[in-house]
Amino acid sequence: MSTSSTTDAPPVIHRLRKPVIDRLLTVWGVLVLVFLFAPIIVIVIYSFNTGRLLSSFEAFGLDSFAALFSKHVLSDAVMVSLRTGFIAALLATLLGTLAGIALARRPGRWAAWFMGLLILVSVTPEIVDAISLLPWLVFLGQDLGLSMFNDGTVRLVIGHSLFSVAVVSYIVRARLVGLPANLEEASADLYASPLRTFRRVTLPLAMPAVLAGLLLSFTFSLDNTIVSSFVQVSGSTPWPVYVLSALRGGLRPEIAAVSTVMLLITLAALAVVALVLRRAGDSSAQIARTMAGG
């Protein structure tokens, strides 16, 4: 079947009755996009509110951004989030990459069980992770006396890593499954040791997925609210938990300002992910699948 003959003919025929429904679909699509962006745009606009309360706009100004630097609770919360995100992303990427490579290249009977576990981890509602981690960390830290589990950063990193490990494993596995293993076989035939093959062939092949997983894990961690609000200890409050607690006492424009800043950081990380995947030759549907967490 030649593609030119099929692309030439139909559009002419379909133009005749296409417009009504297709135009409605386009209108629908644009409306949905407006709906999706409405609250985000509102938050960005209201971050320039100089009033005392977030929801009543008084005048346009940068006061709330200045408050990010003058209010230490707020800047501390952002720093806690960035530090946790960095550590959690590295950890999840390390564990997830190894697991993903194993799933793609050395699947055994264990692989089905392991995939089952990963799916279970990723579909478990966050509230369940949160309420089960809290007693467990208290048990490890206080009943068993392992004092590292009383540390705020350790607790947050553990809580944030679970979902990310699953996501990184999926992404790395999906990438390697799509690439035949013959390069690795060639490397082994040329007497490279397994470790050398791993380092020089497998890992570079998986690299775009590893980088994407790293950045995705970082943004997952920045966004994590529910688990964080359970496992955090005072003194290491990440920014979404700070926002959650501010909710009870009336929201101020600084909340919108810190949200805008975090949004920019997240978008920058995601733009890099998309760029990495695009350069690795993924289609936009593949990128969507990867960025939606597998």
Partner 1 sequence: MRRLRLPGLALALPAWVWLAVFFIAPVAVVFWYSFGYKPGLFGTHATDRLSFDRYLEVLTPTFFDTFVATMNIALTGTALCFLIGAPMAYWMAVKAPPSWRGLLLALVLVPFWTNFLVRTIGWQVILSPEGWLSQAAQTLGLPAFDILYTRGAVLLGVVYNYLPLMILPLYVAFDRVGEPLREASRDLGAGRFRTLWRVTLPLARPGIVVGVLLVYIPLMGDYITATVLGGAKGNMVGQLVAAQFQTAQNWALGSAMAITLIVIIVLSAAAVGAALWLVSWPLRRSYRVRLDSGVTQ
Applying the rule CB under 8 A, the residues between 28 and 47 that interact with partner 1 are: 28-29, 32-33, 35-40, 42-43, 46
- Segment interacting with partner 1, rule: CB under 8 A, options 66-74, 121-129, 174-182, 203-211: 121-129
Asked whether position 56 contacts partner 1 by CB under 8 A, the answer is yes
**Number of DSSP helices (H) and strands (E) in the chain, helices first:** 14, 0
Tell me which of 162, 214, 257, 277 binds partner 1, using CB under 8 A: 162
Residues 252, 54 contacting (CB under 8 angstroms): yes
- Number of residues binding to partner 1, judged by CB under 8 A: 95
Residues 200, 159 contacting (CB under 8 angstroms): no
Q: From the CB of 97, what's the least distance to partner 1, in Å? A: 9
Residues 173, 96 contacting (CB under 8 angstroms): no
All residues at 6 or more sequence positions from 212 whose CB lies less than 8 Å from its CB, including other chains:
171, 273, 276, 277, 290, 291
Q: From the CB of 250, what's the least distance to partner 1, in Å? A: 12
Q: From the CB of 75, what's the least distance to partner 1, in Å? A: 17
Q: From the CB of 136, what's the least distance to partner 1, in Å? A: 4
Q: Which of 268, 151, 167, 258 is nearest to 220 (CA)?
A: 167
3-state DSSP assignment of residue 178: coil
What mask of x and - would describe binding to partner 1 in positions 176 to 195, judged by CB under 8 A? ------------x----xx-
Asked whether position 251 contacts partner 1 by CB under 8 A, the answer is yes
Asked whether position 60 contacts partner 1 by CB under 8 A, the answer is no
3-state DSSP assignment of residue 47: coil
DSSP 60-101: B-SHHHHHHHH-HHHHHHHHHHHHHHHHHHHHHHHHHHHHHH
Tell me which of 99, 201, 211, 214 binds partner 1, using CB under 8 A: 99
Q: From the CB of 39, what's the least distance to partner 1, in Å? A: 3
Classify residue 49 by its DSSP letter: B
Q: From the CB of 177, what's the least distance to partner 1, in Å? A: 13
Asked whether position 65 contacts partner 1 by CB under 8 A, the answer is no
Burial label for 17, CB within 10 Å (0-12, 13-18, 19+), is exposed
Asked whether position 172 contacts partner 1 by CB under 8 A, the answer is no
Q: From the CB of 124, what's the least distance to partner 1, in Å? A: 8
Applying the rule CB under 8 A, the residues between 196 and 225 that interact with partner 1 are: 198, 219, 222-223, 225
Applying the rule CB under 8 A, the residues between 122 and 151 that interact with partner 1 are: 123-136, 139
All residues at 6 or more sequence positions from 86 whose CB lies less than 8 Å from its CB, including other chains:
218
How far is 260 from 135, CA to CA, in rounded Å? 34
